[in-house]
Chains A and B, each alone.
Chain A
């Protein structure tokens, strides 16, 4: 069963991943000597890059139209970094192969970089992962490179991150494998760098989503607080006068929801804006799934037949929006896991229920 606490941990992991991306790209963005951001450095997230002909085919023979690294940096003309941030890896190591295949796909003469030529002369590939998994990940990499299963022709490195739970919250980054082309940064990360969270907090304040679906309760809470309440308060008198047991009906399309959250909380403000290669975050499907949660909890209803593009939400003044979303998602997960148990009961020769 997925408890509210587990879901909250998942949200925490999601936020940590966002922070890790922001913290890492900030090593390139922030000029330590001038104490300001380098304007010439371009940061992007979730951008679709086109593979070269040599890598346009996947390992299983399918065609690869694009790759979408979790983060990218153009830190000087013709030079960049691409990478993925992955806080956790599954226990089954055979599944790690897919993650490394994705990283190897970035080791390519890709087109679509946010510069006039759309290509760069050289770039690094970086994997950001949590400190608790980094040793196992590096061991896996070494095993697979020695057997020839994994190979990078461009500089590849693994950088660990962890949030220190001390009096002052900070993120610690440390290079655990490989080398970065930027010698200064490589040396710093070799020794490990602790960055107080407030140092790169400016970006935390606007970036809540990256190109990976967040836990449902988090997505639902963002929609409720930043889209539904915002729309409900457009009629200030009705909004202010609404009692706790009353509802205010608010209608909007998923497209409006996506646009509003994209403008508010994606990497949009930090990176290039061309939408052809830069998909909108959040995705419409994520919003649809979050709205399904509201619908299942009788807090909303779809007002157009599938593909469910328009929703009516019954806005209410909840005491704690996130707690409510956690509760309904946990209830939903519990119901899903309990249903098979009830169906199985008649076939249970002992007549006892699981867990009883």
Chain B
């Protein structure tokens, strides 16, 4: 009940798009709480589908749908160890981005088990709702800028999970989650360099934002762009949530209108993943790429040609998008959406390549040909 004493008045107050971030920070300042933020793209406004996306065990209902910020209630039914039914009520906001019309941020002060259900619900709404992924390089840049812009003396990693490419299905190289004690003395750049050398990427990072000896906030940031913080919320919002919204918007613009059906002449609009080096020139490397692609879930991946050039055909089982994937030179991979190639499916394929093979830079096909 203690939590309700301050949260009920907070939720009863009308928040606007301009005030919500500061209002949530006010809660963090006065009460030991955590705010979580999940930016995502939605083809239709979430208020139109969230209440229908729930299940019999996890229901959602609108409280204050309004322009810019909507408040929702959620109810999660669980069973305790003795089989008794338990009900957990929570609330969350959907914040509409003022610049990017289809980008929204789910914000909540609820505990992780409620947030995780909300997160899963949004993931289940794929391909109509899509989250993003943050590349290793981008993640590093965001952390460096955050530290420098807010004159923090250090970002001390408290916990991190990372994955190693290729070996993740090899029983001798299970998914690695480093324990808390392994990290405190490691500088940020050392941690990134180490993971890079392992051909891996951070799945999530939890760190203390310190100014001299004071810990101002404990912040978590994941590859999917989910942020959690105990303080400095306006700074965290500007430093992490906003850039993720921008990335999602870029994804939608870059990945959008790629279906051949979108154009009268049915021409293709390929995308290229370009590497800085001749990453994929050797036949061993091309074989590794093909093997990595074969692990794409919910898809048919057919190999028409494996070496010296690579030609794959990919059929997406979420929405029926079809792609040809070509490797015709040593430093790039070309993705050719055929008649149907949705934003969600393109994002999924690229995310999979970045996760399971290697990260590169996205380019238009013509630009990559120079």
A positions within 8 Å CB-CB of B: 11-12, 15, 164-169, 196-198, 201-202, 204-206, 221, 225-226, 229-230, 232-233, 236, 239-240, 242, 263-264, 269, 317-323
> In the complex, which residues of chain A have a beta carbon less than 8 angstroms from the beta carbon of B334?
198, 201
Say yes or no: A269 contacts B267, CB within 8 Å: yes
Say yes or no: B266 contacts A269, CB within 8 Å: yes
A167→B283 CA distance, assembly (Å) = 8
A169→B308 CA distance, assembly (Å) = 6
* Residue of A165, A206, A229, A320 touching B308 (CB-CB under 8 A): A165
Say yes or no: B328 contacts A201, CB within 8 Å: yes
Main secondary structure of the interface of A (DSSP, over half): helix
> In the complex, which residues of chain B have a beta carbon less than 8 angstroms from the beta carbon of A206?
260, 266-268
A339→B268 CA distance, assembly (Å) = 46
Say yes or no: A264 contacts B302, CB within 8 Å: no
- Residue from A202, A226, A232, A240 having most chain B Cβ neighbours under 10 A: A240
> In the complex, which residues of chain A have a beta carbon less than 8 angstroms from the beta carbon of B309?
169, 197
* Known contacts A165-B308, A198-B328, A264-B266; A322/B320 CB under 8 A: no
A289→B339 CA distance, assembly (Å) = 24
* Residue of A12, A230, A317 touching B300 (CB-CB under 8 A): A317
The 9 lowest CB-CB distance pairs between A and B, nearest first, are A233-B320, A322-B302, A169-B309, A198-B328, A205-B268, A321-B300, A205-B336, A165-B308, A197-B328
Say yes or no: A240 contacts B318, CB within 8 Å: yes
A221→B265 CA distance, assembly (Å) = 24
B residues contacting the other copy or chain, number (CB 8 A): 40
Closest to B294 in A: A320
* Residue of A205, A225, A242, A323 touching B315 (CB-CB under 8 A): A225
A205→B305 CA distance, assembly (Å) = 14
A205→B315 CA distance, assembly (Å) = 15
A201→B369 CA distance, assembly (Å) = 10
Say yes or no: A168 contacts B319, CB within 8 Å: no
Say yes or no: A264 contacts B260, CB within 8 Å: yes
> In the complex, which residues of chain A have a beta carbon less than 8 angstroms from the beta carbon of B328?
168-169, 196-198, 201
Cβ of B313 within 8 Å of any chain A Cβ, yes or no, is yes
> In the complex, which residues of chain A have a beta carbon less than 8 angstroms from the beta carbon of B311?
15
> In the complex, which residues of chain B have a beta carbon less than 8 angstroms from the beta carbon of A166?
308
* Residue of A239, A242, A263, A319 touching B266 (CB-CB under 8 A): A263
Say yes or no: A11 contacts B304, CB within 8 Å: yes
Closest to B307 in A: A165
Cβ of B303 within 8 Å of any chain A Cβ, yes or no, is yes
* Known contacts A169-B328, A202-B268, A318-B300; A232/B308 CB under 8 A: no
B273 to chain A, nearest CB (A): 14
Closest to B327 in A: A169
A344→B262 CA distance, assembly (Å) = 58
> In the complex, which residues of chain A have a beta carbon less than 8 angstroms from the beta carbon of B313?
221, 225, 321-322
B44 to chain A, nearest CB (A): 13
Say yes or no: A233 contacts B302, CB within 8 Å: no
Q: List 8 A-B contacts (CB under 8 A).
A: A12-B305, A15-B305, A167-B308, A168-B330, A169-B309, A205-B268, A239-B319, A263-B266
* Residue of A205, A226, A321 touching B270 (CB-CB under 8 A): A205
* Residue of B281, B320, B369 touching A229 (CB-CB under 8 A): B320
A202→B272 CA distance, assembly (Å) = 13
* Known contacts A165-B307, A318-B300, A322-B304; A264/B315 CB under 8 A: no
